[in-house]
Amino acid sequence: MERIDLGRGIKVAPVCLGAMNFGTTTDKKSSYAVLDAYIERGGNFIDTSNNYAHWAGTGDESETLLGEYLKERKNRDKLVIATKVGFDRHGEGAGLKKEQIEYWIDESLRKLGCDYIDIYYAHTDDANTPLEETMSAFDKLVRKGKVKMLGGSNYDTWRFERANNVARDINGYPFEIMQQRYAYLYAKPECAPKYAFNEYVTRERLRYLAANNVPLVAYSCLARGGFENPERLPADLIAGERLEFARNMAKEKGVSTSALIVAYYANVYRIGGPRIIPLFSSSSPEHFIENLGGLDIALTDEELAALKNA
């Protein structure tokens, strides 16, 4: 499996494994099986958060399970671990104040059993805390060696840019990677997101990312299985001709639509798009590997352009 060079000595697989439900709705045995299957096929990029999955537990389960896995498998140095800070977990933790960032990085390191985090995301924008305070606190984590790279998740594009301008003004480390909700299908404009800043990626944001060479880690990118099963398609996405076009191309190639979409995400940079790293998971190793197989699908530049313009 190829590696994408993100800088800061970090090279990641072109697909990121999401560990959101590990330790809660996905039990330990199944979580380990998916992790093993991903790594055996060359994967190395694992995503979690300090609040996963608090709606099904305490919010400590995912990081704790990953910490146990890393200890048992003794493979920390071969993996790129990303975690986050800033979202609510049972009425605590929301915000990006200096003391919150300093507290939760140590909690994440403790649960993961790590000396450092490869990629540390601001999980969502905190409009009530000055960006100077937030970016200064993140910068200090990098300088102390607790974090290698910073990222922003669930930010409006202009706020992401402003945060980086602030980082440069203080000679600090900027956000160098973005994680945002993204689907091949377009979002219905009348549907507001559940949380203020977790909007779907738009064409404007894709142009911003490409122009600034910022990789996008795309969550919710397989539309909850809706590419295969229309009943699972989120109500805030437009199906229509774009979905039909992708399904027809997948049928012609003898692959699933989800796998085709993974191939599109992983290769759209070849025709001027940003680097997109799809983030997805499953409780079943077989189902996860089926979607991971999208990395083996060959798409011409003409096919990529046709999918983009459908």
Helices 301-309 and 240-253 pack at an angle, to 10 degrees, of: 150
The answer, yes or no, to whether residue 9 has pLDDT greater than 90, is: yes
Residues 287/292/294/296 CA torsion (nearest 10 deg):
-120
Per-residue confidence band for 15, with pLDDT thresholds at 50, 70 and 90: very high
- Pair type for strands 175-181 and 216-219: parallel
The answer, yes or no, to whether residue 93 has pLDDT greater than 90, is: no
pLDDT for 195: 87
Work out the average pLDDT over 239-255.
97
Share of the chain above pLDDT 90, in %: 98
Work out the average pLDDT over 76-83.
98
Residue 45 · residue 275 · CB < 8 Å: no
Query: Higher model confidence: residue 96 or residue 195?
Result: 96
Work out the average pLDDT over 72-80.
98
Reported as a single tens digit per residue, the pLDDT across 119-176 is: 999 999 999 999 999 999 999 999 999 999 999 999 999 999 999 999 999 999 999 9
- Indicate the burial class of 301 (C-beta count within 10 angstroms; 0-12, 13-18, 19 or more): exposed
Q: Which domain holds residue 37?
A: 4-309
Reported as a single tens digit per residue, the pLDDT across 172-229 is: 999 999 999 999 999 999 999 988 899 999 999 999 999 999 999 999 999 999 999 9
182 catalytic, yes or no? no
Work out the average pLDDT over 29-57.
98
Reported as a single tens digit per residue, the pLDDT across 255-281 is: 999 999 999 999 999 999 999 999 999
State the catalytic residue, choosing from 38, 52, 120, 219: 52
Calpha distance 250→244 (Å, rounded): 10
- Prior bond of 223 cis (ω within 30°): no
Per-residue confidence band for 108, with pLDDT thresholds at 50, 70 and 90: very high
The answer, yes or no, to whether residue 92 has pLDDT greater than 90, is: no
Run of H or E including 40: helix 28-40
Whether the full predicted model's pTM is greater than 0.95, yes or no, is yes
Residue 198 · residue 154 · CB < 8 Å: yes
Going from the C-alpha of 144 to that of each of 77, 83, 112, 115, the distances in angstroms are 19, 17, 18, 11
Mean pLDDT value across the chain: 97
Indicate the number of domains in the chain.
Answer: 1
Joined tokens for residue 130: 């000055």
The answer, yes or no, to whether residue 52 has pLDDT greater than 90, is: yes
The amino acid that residue 80 corresponds to is V
Calpha distance 265→132 (Å, rounded): 34
The answer, yes or no, to whether residue 232 has pLDDT greater than 90, is: yes
Residue 112 · residue 63 · CB < 8 Å: yes
Residue 107 · residue 50 · CB < 8 Å: yes
Q: Write the CATH number for 298.
A: 3.20.20.100
Give the gyration radius of the chain's Cα atoms. Answer: 19
